[in-house]
Amino acid sequence: MTRAIVLFAHGARDPRWVEPFEAVAARVRAAAPDCRVALAFLELMAPTLVDAAAGLVGAGATRIDVVPLFLGTGGHLRRDLPPLVEALRAAHPDVDIHLHAAIGEHAVVVEAMAAAAVAAAGFGE
Amino acid sequence: MTRAIVLFAHGARDPRWVEPFEAVAARVRAAAPDCRVALAFLELMAPTLVDAAAGLVGAGATRIDVVPLFLGTGGHLRRDLPPLVEALRAAHPDVDIHLHAAIGEHAVVVEAMAAAAVAAAGFGE
C-alpha cells in the first residue's frame, strides 16, 4: 500500500493566506516521511481535490486520507466536500479513500487554539 | 483594568459549525477566569464584533483583546476586520483594544493541526 494524505483547505485570494497550511503540510511530511502529502483547495487556489488526488494516484498512491483543514463543520464540509470525495472514488475505484473530520474538531487543536489565544492576550497559563 | 477577550470567528449557517469555537471559548474562560470571554462573528451568526464589544464594555471591560479564530490571514482579516476594530475604538475611546494575529499562525496551533492530521490518518508520531 502506498499512502498519501491530502490536506483540504478552503482557499483564498491572498497568497499569504496559505502560509499556515503549508506549515502544517511540512510538519505532516516530517512526521510521515513515507507518505506523500499534498494540499488541495475548495476554491480560489490550486490544486483542486480532484487534481491533487489524480497526481497522487499517478505517483502510485493506493490509499488517500483526506483531512479537512477547516475549524468547524459547516456547509463546505457537509455539502461541498462529500460529492468531491464521491467523484474521487468513482475516478479511482482501486484507491482506498478515507475522509476525516474537520481538524478543528480534534481536542488537541481546540486546546492549542485556546492556549494560543490566552498567550496572545498576555495571560499566563 | 477589567479585561475581556473576544474570539472572532467567521460564522456559518449550520449551527453545529460553532461547536469547536465554543469549546475554545470554554477553555479560554477556564484559563483566564478573571477575564470575560465572548465569541463574535463576521457573518451569519450573532453577535457581531460590535455587539459583543458593546456588551463587554457595558459589563465594565476597559481592555478588550480581539483574537481571530481564523486559520489563515486573507481578505476577512486584512480587509473586513480592521474597519470593525476601528469602529470599536471610535465607539469606545476609553477602552484599550488590542487586535491579534490569526490563531492559525501560532506555532502551537500549526503543530496541533499537523499532529491531529497524522493521528487521524493513522500514523504514529
Tens digit of each residue's pLDDT (9 = 90 or more) over A30-82:
999 999 999 999 999 999 999 999 999 999 999 999 999 999 999 999 999 99
Q: What is the pLDDT of residue B123?
A: 87
A69 with B71: Cβ contact below 8 A: yes
Cis peptide upstream of residue A15 (ω within 30 degrees of 0): no
Residue A125 has pLDDT above 60, yes or no: no
Q: Which are the contacts of B78, defined by CB distance < 8 A and separation ≥ 6?
A: A14
Of A17, A73, A111, the CB nearest to B16: A73
B74 with A114: Cβ contact below 8 A: no
User: SS3 letters for B41-60?
Assistant: ECCCCCCCHHHHHHHHHHCC
Using CA atoms, how far apart are residues A3 and B121, in angstroms rounded to an integer? Answer: 10
Helices B107-120 and A107-120: crossing angle, nearest 10°? Answer: 180
Q: What are phi and psi of A38, to 5 degrees?
A: -130, 145
Cβ proximity of A15 and A44 under 8 Å? no
Using CA atoms, how far apart are residues A17 and A32, in angstroms rounded to an integer? Answer: 24
Q: Does A92 touch chain B (CB under 8 A)?
A: no
Q: What are phi and psi of A66, to 5 degrees?
A: -100, 115
Alpha-carbon distances of A56 from A36, A47, A88, A120, B109, rounded to whole Å: 7, 12, 12, 38, 27
Q: What is the pLDDT of residue A123?
A: 87
Question: What are the strands, taking DSSP E only, across A1-125?
Answer: 3-9, 36-41, 63-68, 96-99
Of B5, B78, B101, the CB nearest to A14: B78
Cell of A83: 460529492
Q: Does B59 touch chain A (CB under 8 A)?
A: no
Q: Does A63 touch chain B (CB under 8 A)?
A: no
Do strands A36-41 and B36-41 pair parallel, antiparallel, or not at all (unpaired)?
unpaired
A115 with B108: Cβ contact below 8 A: yes
Give the amino acid at A37: V
State ipTM.
0.97
User: b or e along A51-69 (b: 16 or more beta carbons within 10 Å of the residue's beta carbon)?
Assistant: ebbebbbeeebebbbbbbb
Cell of B19: 461547536
Taking the model in full, what pTM does it have? 0.96
Tens digit of each residue's pLDDT (9 = 90 or more) over B58-107:
999 999 999 999 999 999 999 999 999 999 999 999 999 999 999 999 99
Of A1, A3, A12, the C-alpha closest to B121 is A3
Of A75, A110, A125, the CB nearest to B12: A75
